[in-house]
Amino acid sequence: MAVTSSSERGSWNSKLGFILAAAGSAVGLGNIWGFPTKVATEGGAAYLIIYLLCTFLIGFPVMVAELSIGRKSGKNPVGAFKALSSNKFFPLVGLWGVICGVVILSFYTVIAGWAFGYAFEEIFYFLGWDSAAAWLTDTGNGPKNALIASVFMFGTIKIITGGVSDGIEKATKTMMPLLIGIIVIMIGYVLTQPGASEGVKEYLLPDFSRINAGLIFSAMGQAFFSLSLGMGALITYGSYLSKKENIPQAAALVTLADVGIAFLAGLMIIPAMYVAQAAGIEIFVGDQLASSTDLVFQILPALFHTIGGVLGLVLGVVFFLLLSIAALTSTISLLEVPVAYVIDEHNVPRKKAAWGVGLGILVISIIVSFYPSLIGTFDNIFNNLGLPIGGLLMCIFVAFVWKTDSALSEMELGFEGVKQTLFAKVWPVFIWIICPAAIAYNIISNFL
């Protein structure tokens, strides 16, 4: 986006540019930290199956809806609802999205800081600087967490103040294939180690008796989080999208890239847990996991350390740097939402908006840095509950206020003949009834 002032709204440089930016937003800690952690703690292969169903049956249709709202209105989430109807309630849905984004970003930067720190941990470990390495691995160290989270937030603000598109588009284009490459190498390595087959079974052979309302609720929240849905990030990104683009196709590509990387990350990390256990690292206490929020951050370095030597060092450093870049392309989308809101609705110049909002969120990040147990609480309220509720209300908006037919007319601009396709018959049914009913049912049964 060549956005420089509040008066001119930017656009993505190219078709691929948008897909890369949206995929960059989707692929992040959610795929490599959130997803494997939840598979490990909540139900193995049974969780994987429910997650895939939520992604394709609920997430994908909602993504198409968000992008259509964004492109039609050309606005931030609050402005978008104002632009498309005179209803007074829906702009509050946009505002709720902005709030979810603010809180999610506040803990996201702390976890991103862990990932970034581990790139250096690998170096210190290699050099034998054990106490420096140990300092970086202590995820409970408040001042350290706050320091690295601040570095991360400054980086995000800096990018948001300038032109977003060049940076994100370029970073994503080289990062994604590399990240996939390293994950595939690591999968190859892990699967040949003792203990791995136990993990593969856990990941791919479902025990359906583990499915319950809590698991479905968590998998649905994870699907929204991983696709960056439910808070208007894709309304905002859609607002920079050219009228020539094919929305359903772009949404499908982004969904597939996101799910593909999450699936591979699980195939690397779940077996690695069992390999680590077979090697004597304490992963389970009884049949409970020894830790959850920082599980992935214990398993991965252990893996790189057992590979050892220069190869272990290079793989470890490159992996954590790539993960940090993946997290950065996600924090950019999280910060862009409240910033676009302040620019559009309160007429603040971009630079001022980015610094004001970013530093405000950094204050919450610093609190989270000292109390990392807040991550679980925030994750539950603003991610597992907040995002699906946002998605539910967006479906209701498109179904009954703006109308699915208007959305299809918007899609028609870049996808000629869409109204004659099967998609145009099926997608509205999802938006009218299947998605809202499934989301509402899952939320209610979780609380009962």
Q: What's the min distance (Å) between Cβ of 72 and ligand TRP?
A: 20
Q: How far apart are CA 316 and CA 189, in angstroms?
A: 13
Cβ closer to ligand TRP: 193 or 255? Answer: 255
Q: What is the nearest approach in angstroms of ligand TRP to the Cβ of residue 387?
A: 6
- Find the shortest distance in angstroms from Cβ 379 to ligand TRP: 11
Task: Closer to ligand TRP by CB, 48 or 276: give it.
Answer: 48
Would you say the C-alpha torsion 382, 217, 46, 194 has a positive or negative sign? positive
Smallest separation, CB 254 to ligand TRP (Å): 10
Task: Say if residue 108 is exposed, middle or buried (CB neighbours under 10 Å; 0-12, 13-18, 19+).
Answer: buried
Q: Is residue 147 a contact partner of residue 372, using CB atoms and an 8 Å limit?
A: no
Report the nearest approach of ligand TRP to the CB of residue 14 (Å). Answer: 21
CB of 417: closest distance to ligand TRP in angstroms? 32
Residue of minimal Cβ distance to ligand TRP: 30
Which tokens in the block code for residue 330? 């996600």
Q: Which CB atom, from 28 or from 43, has the smaller least distance to ligand TRP?
A: 28
Instruction: State in angstroms the smallest separation of the CB of 204 from ligand TRP.
Output: 22
CB of 62 to ligand TRP, least distance (A): 12
CA distance 315 to 408: 46
Nearer residue to ligand TRP within complex by CB, 112 or 313: 112
Query: What whole-number distance in Å separates Cα of residue 318 and Cα of residue 183?
Result: 11
3-class DSSP assignment, residue 292: coil
Per-residue HEC secondary structure of 351-415 comes to HHHHHHHHHHHHHHHHHHHHCCCHHHHHHHHHHHHHHHHHHHHHHHHHHHHHCHHHHHHHHHCCC
Binding site for ligand TRP (CB under 6 A): 25-26, 28-31, 104, 225-226, 228, 231, 233, 330, 333-334, 387
CB 5 to ligand TRP: min, Å: 24
- Shorter beta-carbon distance to ligand TRP: residue 226 or 446: 226
Smaller CB distance to ligand TRP: residue 46 or 104? Answer: 104
> What 3-state class would DSSP assign to 285?
strand
Q: H-helix or E-strand containing 52?
A: helix 44-53
In whole angstroms, what is the distance from residue 404 CA to residue 396 CA? 10
Cβ neighbours around 258 below 10 Å, total: 26
| Least distance (Å) between residue 341 CB and ligand TRP | 14
User: Residue 97 Cβ, how far from ligand TRP at the closest point, in Å?
Assistant: 8
User: Using an 8 Å Cβ cutoff, are 50 and 442 in contact?
Assistant: no
State which H helix or E strand residue 118 sits in.
helix 90-127
**For residue 80, with 0-12 CB atoms within 10 Å meaning exposed, 13-18 middle and 19 or more buried, which class applies?**
buried
3-state secondary structure at position 289: strand
CA nearest neighbour of 387 among 226, 251, 224: 224
Strands 288-289 and 284-285 turn out to be antiparallel
Look-up of token digits 């272990």: 312
Tokens linked to 384: 């597992």
Pick from 336, 403, 338, 281: nearest CA to 161: 336
